[in-house]
Amino acid sequence: MDIRCKDCLYYLPIDVFNGLCKKLKKNILPDQIEKSCFEKNKKCKYCKNFTLSKDDDQLGTCMGTIFAYPDMIAQKCVDFSQK
Amino acid sequence: MSEQGSKKCTPTSEYNLFGKVPDKKITGREVVKKPTKRAGVLRDRFFNAKSSVNVEFPYWYTRKWDEQDGDVTIVRRAEALKAAFEHLTPVIYPGELLVMGKAAYLRGSHPMPWLSEAFFMGEEDKAYQEALKSGKLSAGKATTWGQGGGNVTVSEGNVMSIAGKFGLRMEELSVLRKMATKFTGKSVEDIGHKYEQETPGYQEKEALMRSVMCMYESGSAMPQGREVINYYYPLQYGIDGIIDICKKSILEVAGKPEMDRLYFYKSVMIVLEGIKNWILNYAEEAEFLASFEKDETQKKEYLEIAECLKSISSQPPKTFREALQLTWIFHVSVINEDAASGLSPGRIGQILNPYWERDLKNGTIDDEKTLELLECMRVKFTAIDVFATAGLIGGVLSGNTFNNLCVGGLKKDGSSAANKLEMLIMEAGETCESTQPTLSLMYDEKLPEEFLLRAIECIKGGTGYPAFLNNLTAMQFHLRNYGPEGLGVEEARAWSMGGCLENAPGSWMPLELDGETHYIPGGSSGCAGVGVNFLSLPKLLELVLFDGVNQKTAERIFPPHGIKLDTYENLWKAFKKYCLRSIDVLILANNIQYDIWRKFTPSIVNSLLKPDCLTNGKDIGQQGSRYNATFHVKITGNQNLINSIASLKKNVYDDKLFSIDDYKNAILANFGFKTAEEVGSFSFQDQIKEKEYKKWERIHKKSLDAPKFGNDEPYVDNIFKEWEEWICNITHEFKSLYDKPLYVGQVSVSTHGPQGAVTLATPDGRLCGTSFADGSVSAYPGTDRNGPYALFESASCFDHSMSQSVQLNMKIHPSVVRGREGAYKFLDLVRGYMRTGAFHIQFNIVDSRMLKDAQDHPDKYKGLMVRVAGFTQYWAELGKQIQDEIIARTEYQKF
């Protein structure tokens, strides 16, 4: 899996095109690939409870039944469990 | 206008001027002030940010909504809102003093598929096609979008453009569609559509919508806003205090008659828990940011933010800053519970003054710190977006969300309410020029000269704000309209401007601080902008002339009126017949949509804030607010209608130069001109003649020469007066969902652009597709030839207190008001108008050539702002229809 800035704990979104690195305070792009300083944010795609849909790689289920999507930030989700 | 094939005009004819032709050089602003360093950085970041949506809020709402299936609807909705609030990802930008926002983007917003979903479905989708057929998307097709600023006008890379403005990351598209599908057939829009079809005349209503004679339906598209928020309860009691009120009230009402009160109180408690958790999540994020922050000052600020948020998550605010932060939180909470534009903070300078004066006395704040905080507030308000259809966001709102802040007016005891904090609010509006909150000054003869001159200096800076609103005229309107609900003179003084120009009733609430009671004003009604939203009067006249058929599409809108237009009286008779029919079919459908809204997605956050919902246990939709007669009929194109009627009276009925059929033929031939669409400009001046122009030259000239509104000419002004008196009175005959009489709203916002675009030439000589005159008593561009005081005489020819917000825009060249002398002269001009009893006036102090240059070179003018019609907007974010219309407005070179 690509390691993109938008999936990092320190990614601060400004808009759909641009963001800031909370740590380095520099402008970054959400799809920028940064391996050196990347720290995984809590997102559904990193959660044990999430299952990716076979038909659509932008959809899935949470705990087998509830609709969900892989890119959602799950920082405040009580059911989040790191893969 | 230019000759055939030649678009270039001579400099003198390129702009509508009253007075001398200006020098060749573009005149800039007299004074350009700068924001504090902090606000400058924050505002620059805003300038570079695009309007962005994500689906976090709707995802958690929908997920919880599904889980709560079977519960009482309002409680189910409360749980859904709670889940949505407490799962929002906190985003705090470096340098911010005030934090929190709608969504996890700087200019963030989000869809609400439970309200309406069809417009963001794929075009192939059945729901989209159904919406298209019923005319719900027609206004969007007639709208032009600003191509610059923060608008995401095209899809690119991983970003999809929605409604010509909003960017959505592609990875969220599938889930958005999934949620939209879940609500298909179950949204307010869809259920409303199901039942509105039961109303008599429904087919006519659909045809009206398709013809863009009506811009949008507020019940599903924008059910809240155009009103004044009330911050009293959070300030007085804090969140825990409100929860305690609910707990006590539940014990009093559970099991008793009127059981809905139980569910309301329960819902308020649930939502407040969600808001509380949302605040605490931000506090946690601030502490997280502080944990690795190396800059000591920034670290300290993050910790101060955390401390402030933790305190106000439960307790009433103790300082000005805490109070400002708390009011902002509740502001965002309301605009997150519903699609809302025009939720106005109202008279916040008076509401927060007790805190500010106390801090000042304690030495914990000074003017400099206050100004910085107020500038930060401006940046936050300017970043508010609302996600809705292209027709609504572009065609009505021009991308603005109309958060109107009022200064001045009177206190509860009738003395001047102006204060020093409000002076600083105006100062911040000047130093940190930004579109929101827009400012309005409630003009009263009791206001001090210094205060009024401060406002004048702010306007001279070119911000377009504050607008001047006549306090006494507004009070008279409120007494007329809300008197039957118990509003008296004292409470009439508590009014404020909701939205761009929807004045809304208020009340005085007793804020206690240090043992003293301060009566603070706040909104006490629901949306004051719901009902028939923008009935196009010139298009209605077109239907009258062509016996009910829309000539643009050849679709029959109404059955033939059957009236021979052989007399002036018969012309009016036919017009009134179609006018009444339009209001009838539109308001019946609107009442149903609003009923569905209140049943399926009742307001909880806004309701808990509004007196007297918490007292009587009823939400806004159940008439829990103190005042509920807030439904209206908004009209557009007043001036073109009256100029057209005057032209027909003069040329057909009085002088008998032409027949009605002559006019019909001339209109169909567009008086021998190309259409605005063909020319690519929506300004009358830029239109190009066709070869056969000569054939129509005489009738066109006579139409242009007929008496025009705005020149103090009784011939046309008397028609205007008669029309206003008729429409303002007859509108009371129609009833709202709450069985209250309707009133007339007279603000065009941006609708004069798209509604002009779908209208053929009019008998006043206006050409096909060009914009109508803006506002309700602004002269049609270039037709006011007798100076400002003649315009004022015309504009005040009827009683403005009969309706909501009669609006006048003027454009003045900066050289006319230069210096202190210019400021006094300017104030005299404003006073002169206010003393006629007129309600509203606002100004663009700008050189028209600068606007033209900005149109050609938008990158040079990123921060350029203009006054549109009740709001200030960045030039680059305006559609061409409105840009052209503002350039065309008469520029006063002297007065």
Is the per-residue pLDDT at B37 higher than 80?
yes
C-alpha distances (whole Å) from B438 to each of B309, B342, B734 are: 26, 10, 32
Helix, strand, or coil (residue B512): strand
Mean pLDDT of chain B: 93
For B270-308, write each residue's pLDDT tens digit. 999 999 999 999 999 999 999 999 999 999 999 999 999
Indicate whether B127 pLDDT > 70: no
Provide the sign of the torsion angle of the four alpha carbons B411, B227, B477, B422, taken in this order: positive
Query: Is B281 part of the contact surface with chain A (CB cutoff 8 Å)?
Result: yes
Q: What is the pLDDT of residue B4?
A: 39
> How far is residue B51's CA from residue B99's CA, in Å, rounded to a whole number?
18
CA B889 to CA B813: how far, in whole Å? 12
Instruction: Please tell me which of the candidates A15, A25, A75 has its beta carbon nearest to residue B52.
Output: A15
- Chain A hits for B52, CB-CB cut-off 8 Å, are 13, 15-16
Please give the pLDDT value at position B6.
35
Q: What is the pLDDT of residues B196-227, one digit of tens each?
A: 999 999 999 999 999 999 987 777 788 999 99
What pLDDT does residue B141 have? 67
Interface mutation vs chain B, best among A2, A10, A12, A16, most B CBs within 10 Å? A16
pLDDT at B7 (0 to 100): 35
**Per-residue pLDDT at B399 exceeds 80:** no
For residue B3, pLDDT over 70 is answered with no
Phi-psi region of B772 (alpha: psi -120 to 50; beta: other; left: phi over 0): beta
Counting beta carbons within 10 angstroms of the beta carbon of residue B21, is it exposed (0 to 12), middle (13 to 18) or buried (19 or more)?
A: exposed
A16 vs B66, B168, B281: nearest CB: B168
Identify the band that residue B12 occupies on the pLDDT scale cut at 50, 70 and 90.
Answer: very low
Q: Per-residue confidence at B2, pLDDT binned at 50, 70, 90?
A: very low
Rounded Cα gap, residues B120 and B257, in angstroms: 43
pLDDT digits (tens, 9 = 90+) for B521-571: 999 999 998 999 999 999 999 999 999 999 999 999 999 999 999 999 999
In the sheet with B809-812, reading across from the earlier edge strand, the strands are: B17-18, B891-892, B809-812, B840-845, B467-470, B438-443, B404-408
Query: pLDDT grade, residue B423 (50/70/90)?
Result: very high
The mean pLDDT value for A13-26 works out to 96
Work out the burial of residue B172: count CB atoms within 10 Å of its CB; fewer than 13 is exposed, 13-18 middle, 19 or more buried: buried
- Residue B11: predicted pLDDT: 35
Facing residue for A75 by CB, picked from B48, B89, B170:
B89
Can you tell me the mean pLDDT for B681-699?
93
Residues B150 and B107: beta-carbon distance below 8 Å:
yes
**Does the beta-carbon distance from B91 to A12 stay under 8 Å?**
yes
Q: What is the DSSP letter of B862?
A: T
Contact of A12 with chain B, judged by CB distance below 8 Å, is answered with yes
Is the pLDDT assigned to residue B868 strictly greater than 80?
yes
pLDDT number for residue B1: 45
Q: Which residues of A touch B41 (CB under 8 A)?
A: none
Residue type, B852: K
Q: What percent of chain B has pLDDT over 90?
A: 82
Tell me the per-residue pLDDT of B824-839, one tens digit each, with 9 for 90 and over: 999 999 999 999 999 9
pLDDT of residue B8: 31
Residue that wins the pLDDT comparison between B254 and B394? B254
At residue B128, the pLDDT reads: 66
Q: pLDDT higher for B2 or B798?
A: B798
pLDDT in tens, B692-750: 999 999 999 999 999 999 999 999 999 999 999 999 999 999 999 999 999 999 988 88
| pLDDT tens by residue, B325-356 | 999 999 999 999 999 989 999 999 999 999 99
Q: What separation, in Å, do the N-terminal and C-terminal C-alpha atoms of chain A show?
A: 14
pLDDT digits (tens, 9 = 90+) for B79-96: 999 999 999 999 999 999
> What pLDDT is attached to residue B392?
73
pTM over 0.90: yes
Give the model confidence (pLDDT) of B626-666 as tens digits.
999 999 999 999 999 999 999 999 999 999 999 999 999 99
What is the enclosing helix (H) or strand (E) of B842?
strand B840-845
3-state secondary structure of A42: coil
Which domains, ranges and CATH numbers included, belong to chain A? 1-40 (2.20.70), 42-83 (2.20.70.100)
CB contact under 8 Å between B292 and A16, yes or no, is no
pLDDT of residue B142 exceeding 70: no
If DSSP codes are grouped into helix, strand and coil, which group holds residue B634?
strand
| pLDDT band at residue B46 using 50, 70 and 90 as cut-offs | very high
CB contact under 8 A, B49 and A25: no
Whether B517 has a pLDDT exceeding 70, the answer reads yes
CA dihedral for B576, B579, B585, B588, sign (positive or negative):
negative
Give the model's pLDDT for residue B876.
Answer: 84
